[in-house]
Amino acid sequence: MSIFLDAVGENKLRPKEILSDPVLFLAFGFGSGLAKKAPGTLGTLAAIPLYLLFVQADILIYSLLTISVTAVGVRICGVAAEKLGEHDFGGIVWDEIAGFLITMWLVPFTWQAVALGFILFRLFDILKPWPIRTIDRQVQGGLGIMLDDVLAGVFAAGLLRLLFEWGWLV
């Protein structure tokens, strides 16, 4: 019994096909989206090393990298959905990577912030409060796949930032 999916999407792509296709490899969060259970959570975990790399740079570079990951994600997720034959397949987790980077955008680095940012982003992504749920249902294609996670990241970032401002995080 494997923890990884055997076939992916309506087109039943094999994991080897996912991992060998550069667009699908990225869309599946470097392979993390192939997990049978909680691919979004694993995709968010896959974002942490990328965040740790990005946070080494100054805020301008971090901003440019995060905007690039997000903008390119629209195309990556759209192409991946087409190749899979299925809109917003759960294993497409590039949107979680972008959402986590957005969550951590203007927050000082601490391990406590990383852990809380992870939790807050996952909560907003799973619960999808208004308007996230509405957008998730109404916007199609790569933009639709990305936009709900971008908003979940913005919501999580706002709350995380407030916790820093109020002195609840150091």
Q: Is residue 95 part of a domain?
A: yes
Q: What are phi and psi of 87, to 5 degrees?
A: -75, 135
Please tell me the total count of domains within the chain: 1
* pTM as predicted: 0.95
**Of the candidates 131, 137, 168, the residue with the CA atom closest to the CA atom of residue 152:** 131
Q: Is residue 124 part of a domain?
A: yes
Q: Is residue 3 part of a domain?
A: no
Q: Which domain holds residue 148?
A: 15-165
Q: Is residue 139 part of a domain?
A: yes
The secondary structure of 39-65 as a DSSP string is HHHHHHHHHHHHHHHHTTS-HHHHHHH
Q: Is residue 5 part of a domain?
A: no
Task: Give the C-alpha separation, 45 to 61, whole Å.
Answer: 22
- pLDDT band for 1, please (50, 70, 90 cuts): low
Q: Is residue 9 part of a domain?
A: no
Q: Which tens digits make up the pLDDT trace of 79-129?
A: 999 999 998 899 999 999 999 999 999 999 999 999 999 999 999 999 999
